[in-house]
């Protein structure tokens, strides 16, 4: 019964048992056309009996193809990346390929891991905030098909991003439309290309309105550091801002809690906006920006596939549009949640 140490069944054993050559087995199990129907059936039956499962390594080596694509992202803890990865997986699996994932968050040897991943796939998607441009360039230089997601261009590599700057400008404009004049930005443009774009749009809107530029208040991407940074920002007495544009929803949610703790009402005393439209934001009545995350992943997957099959021509760059989601937190007159 189920021996402890069992070597996997190989094509040779199937061939033996079916009384044919390994070539015939291979053919019977794949290009069914080239094999006489009775033979094919026999081989398939034997393969089934033996629980034969062709080794991908053998096949990959023979075909010179892994039939697998990779995706590199910072982490999966927020809903953001999970959605992107899901959109990616969906398309890639549909193309008959497997998906390798790599989360770089908190790993100091990310570049090395990415290089290692590169050796197992036919192409990969690299998201912003994972590895530096030099690493990307090095891999691209290797000839491996690549698509960058939510990060600035590097060389001639394809790029798919969601709009940040224009939306940020519109969002900030909306805030200004409410009469707010003392604005702050919570997030660190240096930490992520997305945040950099958002801050740029924020700044542009200030300039449009003839306001003085402001320095960003640095914060990580999670609720906790949003809370900490906001608490600090909101405590400095007379210079307290009327509105805070946050780098993402989690930070905004942290800021929201900080405001509560300080006895400030939102949006009464303070307007607040986030980014990403995560589910929690709906319930927190948070004004935010919605991105088609799944679509981002799916698009990247399709483009990568075109690169792999050599269809694609020159480098392509696409910016997917985003959508403002106005809820109560920005001081809007709506104070029922959106649909």
Partner DNA sequence: TCCGTCATTGGAAGCGCTTACATTCGCCGT
Partner DNA sequence: ACGGCGAATGTAAGCGCTTCCAATGACGGA
Binding residues vs DNA (CB under 7 A): 7-8, 10-12, 19-24, 26-27, 29-31, 34-36, 38-40, 52-55, 57-59, 61-64
Q: Which is nearer to a second copy, 99 or 205 (CB)?
A: 99
Burial of 215 (0-12, 13-18, 19+ CB in 10 A): exposed
Pairing relationship of beta strands 146-149 and 123-127 according to DSSP bridges:
parallel
The answer to the question of residue 113 lying near a second copy (CB under 8 A) is yes
Question: Residue 29: which of DNA, a second copy, none does it interact with, CB under 5 to 8 A by kind?
Answer: DNA
The answer to the question of residue 230 lying near a second copy (CB under 8 A) is no
* Minimal distance, residue 76 CB to a second copy, in Å: 4
Q: Is 174 left (phi over 0), alpha (psi -120 to 50) or beta?
A: alpha
* Other Cβ atoms closer than 10 A to 120: 14
Q: Give residues 251-280 in contact with a second copy (rule: CB under 8 A).
A: 253, 278-280
* Minimal distance, residue 63 CB to DNA, in Å: 5
CA distance 331 to 45: 69
* Minimal distance, residue 60 CB to DNA, in Å: 8
Would you list the DSSP string of 278-333? -HHHHHTT-BEEEE-HHHHHHHHHHHHHHHHTT---S--EEEE-EEEE--GGGT-S
Question: Residue 147: which of a second copy, DNA, none does it interact with, CB under 5 to 8 A by kind?
Answer: none
Q: Is 273 helix (H, G, I), strand (E, B) or coil?
A: strand
Question: Residue 177: which of DNA, a second copy, none does it interact with, CB under 5 to 8 A by kind?
Answer: none
* Minimal distance, residue 125 CB to DNA, in Å: 23
Q: Which stretch binds a second copy (CB under 8 A): 117-125, 178-186, 239-247, 314-322?
A: 117-125
Structure tokens at 157: 């590599």
b (16+ CB within 10 A) / e for 285-305: bbbbbbbbbbebbbbbbbbbb
Question: Running DSSP on this structure, what letter comes out for residue 33?
Answer: G
Question: Residue 36: which of DNA, a second copy, none does it interact with, CB under 5 to 8 A by kind?
Answer: DNA
The answer to the question of residue 2 lying near a second copy (CB under 8 A) is yes
Burial of 74 (0-12, 13-18, 19+ CB in 10 A): buried
Structure tokens at 202: 């924020």
Structure tokens at 216: 């960003």
Q: Which is nearer to a second copy, 205 or 246 (CB)?
A: 246
Binder of a second copy out of 54, 191, 209, 292 (CB under 8 A): 54
Q: Which stretch binds a second copy (CB under 8 A): 16-24, 95-103, 165-173, 227-235?
A: 95-103
CA distance 133 to 131: 7
* Other Cβ atoms closer than 10 A to 265: 9
Q: Is 338 helix (H, G, I), strand (E, B) or coil?
A: coil
Q: Which is nearer to a second copy, 196 or 266 (CB)?
A: 266
* Minimal distance, residue 91 CB to DNA, in Å: 24
Q: Which is nearer to a second copy, 196 or 244 (CB)?
A: 244
Residues that bind a second copy (CB under 8 A): 2-3, 6, 8, 51, 53-58, 60-61, 66, 68, 75-77, 79, 81-83, 85-86, 89-90, 93, 98-103, 107, 113, 115-120, 138, 140-143, 156, 253, 278-280, 282-284
């Amino acid at each position: 019964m189920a021996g402890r140490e069992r070597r996997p069944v190989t094509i040779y054993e199937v061939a033996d048992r079916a009384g044919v050559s390994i070539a015939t087995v291979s053919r019977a199990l794949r290009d069914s056309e080239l094999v006489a129907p009775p033979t094919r059936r026999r081989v398939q039956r034997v393969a089934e009996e033996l629980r034969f499962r062709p080794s991908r390594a053998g096949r990959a080596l023979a075909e010179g193809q892994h039939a697998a694509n990779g995706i590199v992202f910072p982490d999966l803890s927020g809903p953001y990346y999970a959605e992107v990865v899901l959109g990616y997986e969906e398309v890639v699996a549909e193309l008959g390929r497997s998906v390798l994932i790599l989360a770089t968050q908190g790993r100091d040897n990310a570049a090395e891991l990415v290089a290692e991943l590169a050796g197992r796939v036919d192409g990969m998607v690299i998201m912003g905030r994972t590895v530096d441009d030099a690493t990307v360039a090095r891999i691209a230089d290797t000839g491996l098909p690549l698509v960058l997601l939510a990060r600035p261009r590097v060389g001639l590599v394809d790029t798919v991003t969601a709009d940040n700057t224009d939306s940020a400008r519109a969002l900030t404009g909306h805030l200004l439309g409410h009469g707010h004049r003392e604005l702050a930005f919570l997030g660190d443009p240096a930490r992520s290309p997305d945040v950099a774009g958002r801050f740029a749009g924020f700044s542009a809107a200030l300039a449009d309105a003839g306001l003085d530029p402001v320095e960003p208040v640095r914060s990580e991407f999670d609720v906790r550091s949003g809370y900490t940074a906001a608490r600090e920002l909101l405590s400095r007495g007379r210079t307290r801002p009327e509105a805070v544009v946050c780098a993402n929803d989690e930070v905004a949610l942290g800021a929201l809690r900080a405001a509560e703790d300080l006895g400030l009402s939102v949006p009464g005393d303070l307007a607040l906006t986030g980014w990403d439209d995560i589910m929690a934001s709906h319930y927190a009545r948070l004004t935010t920006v919605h991105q088609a995350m799944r679509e981002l992943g799916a698009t990247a997957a399709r483009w990568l596939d075109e690169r792999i099959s050599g269809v694609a021509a020159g480098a392509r760059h696409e910016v997917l549009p985003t959508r403002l989601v106005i809820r109560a937190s920005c001081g809007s007159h709506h104070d029922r949640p959106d649909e």
